[in-house]
C-alpha cells in the first residue's frame, strides 16, 4: 500500500502522488513508513537523519553541533576562558617579571626612553616625558598587562611626568620643612639644653617615619591612577603599613644592589678590552633608565599582587595608563 504522511491515509499500491494534497506517497504499510521517524516524543533521536528535533540540547552526531537554544553564549569559548572585564593578575614570579618587563616589545620603548633621558638638558622636557613613561610602565604592570606600553602619546606622558615630579617636590619640601622645624626647636632651647637631645631624637624618628610612609605614595599612585584617590581614605598609610610595601622595599633594595654590582663588573670588563668602550658608554645611558623602569614595574607587580590578595582595589583592565 502507498501511504501519505500528511493526510494519514492509505492508497492503492502504485499510486505516486496523494489525490488529496498532492504530496509524494511512501511505499509500504503505515508501520514501515513511519518506522524511521521520531518527533522527539520518545527518545528524541532521528534514526534516519541522525539529528534531533528536540530542543533539549542533544548533540548532532552527524553535524557535530547541538540544537540546544538555551545554551549560554558565554560558555562557547570553553571552561576557564578569561572574562575581559575581570581584573588580570600576573602568573610569573616577581624576579622574572621585574627583569624582563622593561625589555618588552624588543626593547624598543627602552631605547627611545634612553634617548629622551640622554637629552634631558633640553629644558628638562625629555626627562619629564621619560618620568611619565616610567609611571605608565608601573601602571601597566599594576593593570596586569603582559607587555610594556608603547612610547607614544608624548603630551600625555609629559603631563604624567609633571604630576610625578610635583609629587616628588612636595614630599621633599615637606620633609625639609620638618627638618627645619627641628633645627629651629633645637636652636630655641639651646644645643646644651637637656631638651635638645630628645627633640633631635623625636625629630629624627619623625623624618624617618615620614620618609618611609612617603615612599608608599608612588605605588598607590600607580594603583589608583588618581591624585584624589591616592590622598584619600588613608590609602597611603594603609599600604605603607602592609607587608606588600615592606616586601617591595626589600626586593627593590636587593635587586638594585645586585644590578649595580653586575653593571660595575660588566663595565670594567668592557673597558679593559678597549674595543668595548663604546658599549660602556651605551650602558651608562641605558642602565639608569632600565633601573627606573624596573623599579616602577616592580611596584606595579606588588600592587597587582596586593589586589589579587584582596588588600587593595584592583586596577580595571580598561583603566587608563595615565593620570585621571
> What pLDDT does 249 receive?
96
Q: Which one of 12-26, 241-255, 264-278 scores highest in mean pLDDT?
A: 241-255
Percent of the chain having pLDDT more than 70? 77
Q: Which residues make beta-bridge pairs with 2?
A: 11, 27
For residue 9, the model assigns a pLDDT of 74
What is the DSSP annotation of 60-114? Answer: -TTTS-B--SSS-GGGGG-TTPPPTTS-----S-HHHHHHHGGGTGGGHHHHHHH
Handedness of CA 90, 96, 101, 107 (dihedral sign): negative
Other CB atoms within 10 Å distance of the CB of residue 75: 9
Segment 3-9 long-range contacts (CB within 8 Å, at least 24 positions apart): 3/27, 3/28, 3/29, 3/30, 3/33, 5/33, 5/34
Q: Is the pLDDT of residue 33 over 80?
A: no
Res 139: pLDDT: 96
> Is the pLDDT score of 42 beyond 60?
no
Residue from 116, 122, 188 nearest 154 by CA: 116
Which DSSP symbol is given to 314? P
For cell 504522511, name the residue.
5
Give me the half-sphere count of Cα atoms (radius 13 Å) on the Cβ side of residue 242: 22
pLDDT digits (tens, 9 = 90+) for 211-262: 999 999 999 999 999 999 999 888 999 999 999 999 999 999 999 999 999 9
For 108-166, write each residue's pLDDT tens digit.
999 999 998 888 777 788 999 999 999 999 999 999 999 999 999 999 999 999 999 99
How confident is the model at residue 81, as a pLDDT? 44
pTM summary value = 0.72
178, burial (CB in 10 Å: exposed 0-12, middle 13-18, buried 19+): middle
Which phi and psi angles does 109 have, rounded to 5°? Answer: -60, -35
- What are the residue ranges spanned by the domains of the chain? 1-31, 96-308
Range scoring the smallest mean pLDDT among 6-15, 36-45, 134-143, 182-191:
36-45
Phi, psi of 227 (to 5 degrees): -65, -40
DSSP for 179-235? HHHHHHHHHHH-TTSTTHHHHHHHHHHHHHHHHHHHTTHHHHHHHH--HHHHTSTTH
Amino acid at each position: 500500500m502507498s501511504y501519505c504522511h500528511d493526510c494519514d491515509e492509505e492508497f492503492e499500491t502504485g499510486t505516486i502522488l496523494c489525490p488529496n494534497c498532492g504530496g509524494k506517497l511512501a511505499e509500504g504499510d503505515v508501520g514501515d513508513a513511519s518506522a524511521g521517524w521520531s518527533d522527539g516524543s520518545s527518545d528524541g533521536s532521528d534514526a534516519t537523519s541522525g539529528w534531533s528535533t528536540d530542543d533539549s540540547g542533544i548533540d548532532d552526531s552527524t553535524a557535530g553541533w547541538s540544537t540546544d537554544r538555551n545554551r549560554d553564549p558565554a560558555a562557547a569559548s570553553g571552561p576557564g576562558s578569561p572574562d575581559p572585564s575581570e581584573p588580570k593578575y600576573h602568573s610569573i614570579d616577581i624576579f622574572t617579571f621585574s627583569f624582563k618587563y622593561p625589555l618588552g616589545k624588543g626593547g624598543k620603548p627602552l631605547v627611545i626612553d634612553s634617548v629622551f633621558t640622554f637629552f634631558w638638558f633640553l629644558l628638562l622636557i625629555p626627562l619629564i616625558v621619560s618620568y611619565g613613561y616610567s609611571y605608565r610602565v608601573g601602571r601597566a604592570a599594576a593593570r596586569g598587562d603582559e607587555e610594556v606600553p608603547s612610547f607614544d602619546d608624548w603630551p600625555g606622558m609629559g603631563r604624567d611626568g609633571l604630576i610625578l615630579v610635583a609629587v616628588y617636590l612636595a614630599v621633599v619640601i615637606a620633609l625639609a620643612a620638618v627638618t627645619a622645624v627641628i633645627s629651629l626647636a633645637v636652636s630655641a632651647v639651646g644645643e646644651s639644653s637637656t631638651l635638645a637631645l630628645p627633640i633631635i631624637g623625636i625629630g629624627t624618628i619623625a623624618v624617618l617615619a615620614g620618609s618611609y610612609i612617603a615612599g608608599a605614595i608612588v605605588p598607590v599612585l600607580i594603583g589608583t591612577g588618581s591624585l584624589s584617590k591616592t590622598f584619600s581614605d588613608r590609602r597611603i598609610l594603609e599600604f605603607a603599613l602592609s607587608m606588600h610595601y615592606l616586601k617591595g622595599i626589600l626586593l627593590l633594595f636587593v635587586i638594585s644592589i645586585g644590578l649595580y654590582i653586575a653593571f660595575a663588573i660588566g663595565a670594567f670588563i668592557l673597558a679593559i678590552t678597549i674595543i668595548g668602550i663604546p658599549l660602556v658608554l651605551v650602558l651608562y645611558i641605558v642602565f639608569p633608565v632600565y633601573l627606573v623602569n624596573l623599579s616602577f614595574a616592580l611596584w606595579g607587580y606588588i600592587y597587582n599582587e596586593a589586589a589579587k590578595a584582596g588588600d587593595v582595589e584592583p586596577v580595571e583592565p580598561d583603566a587608563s595608563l595615565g593620570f585621571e
